[in-house]
Amino acid sequence: MSYFDAASAAPLHPVARQALLAALDDGWADPSRLYREGRKARMLLDAAREAAAEAVGCRADELSFTPSGTRAVHTGVAGALAGRRRTGRHLIVSAVEHSSVLHSAEAWEADGGQVTRVPVRRTGAVDVESYAAALRPDTALACLQSANHEVGTEQPVAAVAEACRAAGVPLLVDAAQSLGWGRVEGGWSLLTASAHKWGGPSGVGLLVVRKGVRFAAQGASDERESGRAPGFENLPAIVAAAASLRAVRAEAEREAVRLRALTARIRARVPELVPDVEVVGDPERRLPGIVTFSCLYVDGETLLHELDREGFSVSSGSSCTSSTLTPSHVLKAMGVLSEGNVRVSLPTGAAEADVERFLEVLPGVVAGVREKLGAPVPVAVTEADVLVVDALGKRCPIPVIELAKVIGTVPVGGRVRVLSDDEAARLDIPAWCEMRGQEYEGEEKAERGTAYLVRRTG
């Protein structure tokens, strides 16, 4: 089985396993106690904090261990907003942040705060000028991920941090995806990360709050972790997280070169091997191991199941694979195709032979899924020189498949009106038009669902 979903959770690093087992024997006592066992546990905790702080590039007393990366985000956002409540109640996030940041933003709005969601370019990166323009005198906090978890695009953190510094606004950086590869550059104020993203054990997060940043921890607290993560520390997991972070950093430069070559091969070969594919994300400013592409006329959930049957574990941002049946907020914000979406995220040590086998298997898998979905016959009628395709009640990619089947039957300059009640069509039909060189003229309300108007240009 080839595991290609390291962006969700990286396999446990051998160093993490060794450190975890050792700490289970020596780090079980309460590190706040003064007797011998407690002192030994305190020494392990202090050493882990020093190692993690060195990797981040901060002071040890600025770093707290939390029960997860999500908890680090929620604590960091809430504490920074509370610490700067006299400044105002305005929060800035990018449209492609991890759900933990967006959920914090939603909670802030529900409590009466204001949130600006900065849009991104088609590559998935924010425009620095647009982000800077969102800063206001009452902005209490700004948030920006270091790199995107779905498409791998790196964000211009240093430039945004400089704009925030000039405005006197702290910047919180979610570094979950990138910290294993290197430090986050720039004058950020708060940083969060999660150990299971770099090969550490799950259940350990990092929260860094720079000295001088106003911060007021919310909720019940105690004396542990500067009052930012109450409760008994999971010391064995913390020790393993710090040890594995140091280990992956030692390998990062060499491994990044190798994985970049493999993902570049996937980015180049997939469009050659599989027709009607859009490779998404920035082609240059990206993490080493992540490559994402979307396939027209493919059900994402079926595609993932078929790849699993062939021995490949991959993930997807397709609406067809989610319980809400809505497209990934990241793909939607980028304005790219969401149907048949596949994210390949290679773990450290991923074999070249496995990547080659993936490229051999993928064309047949996609063709098989398309064949299964090609059966529906489009229901089309002509109304006032406009061909109407009734795709109501059908989930994407069926509306796009039916559009593709009839576009060639209308004359150049003619129009097709696609009726759909699937939210994913709002993203997928414009994306299909851009890929196929047709003109998307917009949408309008229909008696049921939404009508999407496409003009044939060639």
Q: In Å, what is the CA distance from 23 to each residue of 12, 66, 341, 365, 374? A: 16, 18, 41, 45, 56
194, 176 in Cβ contact below 8 A? Answer: yes
Q: Which residues of 299-322 are buried (b: 16+ CB within 10 A; e: fewer)?
A: bbbbbbebbeeeebbbbbbbbbbe
Helix and strand element counts for the chain (H, E): 12, 17
For the entire predicted model, the pTM comes to 0.85
Of 21 and 385, which is predicted with more confidence? 21
Q: What is the pLDDT of residue 300?
A: 84
pLDDT at 446 over 50: yes
Q: What is the pLDDT of residue 112?
A: 95
Q: Using a pLDDT cut of 70, give the percent of the chain over it.
A: 96
DSSP conformation class of 444: E
pLDDT at 145 over 90: yes
Mean pLDDT to the nearest integer, 218-232 = 81
Contacts 24+ apart (CB under 8 A), 408-412: 409/380, 410/456, 411/456, 412/456, 412/457, 412/458
Query: What would the two tokens of residue 143 be?
Result: 């948030």
Written as one letter, the residue type at 196 is: H
How wide is the angle at C-alpha 17 spanned by C-alphas 16 and 21, nearest 5°?
115
Which residues does 75 contact at the CB level (< 8 Å), separation at least 6? 66, 207, 217, 218, 228, 229
pLDDT at 33 over 70: yes
Backbone phi and psi for residue 198, each to the nearest 5 degrees, phi listed first: -115, 10
Of 198 and 221, which is predicted with more confidence? 198
Packed helices 99-110 and 69-83: angle between N→C axes, nearest 10 degrees: 40
Q: Using a pLDDT cut of 90, give the percent of the chain over it.
A: 77
Number of C-beta neighbours around residue 224 at 10 A = 18
Where do the H-state alpha helices sit in 69-153?
A: 69-83, 99-110, 128-134
Task: Catalogue the active-site residues.
Answer: 320
pLDDT at 453 over 60: yes
How many residues does the structure list for the chain? Answer: 458
Among candidate residues 221, 222, 223, 227, the one with its CA nearest the CA of residue 207: 227
Q: In Å, what is the CA distance from 448 to each residue of 92, 182, 326, 384, 421? A: 36, 51, 18, 19, 7
389, 414 in Cβ contact below 8 A? Answer: no
DSSP H or E stretch at residue 140: strand 139-145
The model's pLDDT over 313-351, given as tens digits with 9 standing for 90+, comes to 999 876 454 555 567 899 999 999 888 899 999 999 999
Backbone phi and psi for residue 292, each to the nearest 5 degrees, phi listed first: -130, 135
175, 146 in Cβ contact below 8 A? Answer: yes
193, 241 in Cβ contact below 8 A? Answer: no
Number of C-beta neighbours around residue 1 at 10 A = 9
The model's pLDDT over 241-293, given as tens digits with 9 standing for 90+, comes to 999 999 999 999 999 999 999 999 999 999 999 988 999 999 999 999 999 99
Number of C-beta neighbours around residue 372 at 10 A = 12
DSSP H or E stretch at residue 442: strand 439-445
Of 382 and 52, which is predicted with more confidence? 52
Q: What is the pLDDT of residue 377?
A: 41
Q: What is the pLDDT of residue 376?
A: 39
Provide the mean pLDDT of the chain. Answer: 92
Query: Concatenated DSSP letters for 178-208?
Result: TTTT-PPPS--SEEEEEGGGTTS-SS-EEEE
How wide is the angle at C-alpha 226 spanned by C-alphas 221 and 227, nearest 5°?
5
389, 406 in Cβ contact below 8 A? Answer: yes
The model's pLDDT over 373-399, given as tens digits with 9 standing for 90+, comes to 763 344 555 555 789 999 888 888 889
Q: In Å, what is the CA distance from 319 to each residue of 300, 329, 338? A: 7, 10, 7
Of 318 and 46, which is predicted with more confidence? 46
Cα 215 from Cα 18, distance rounded (Å): 36
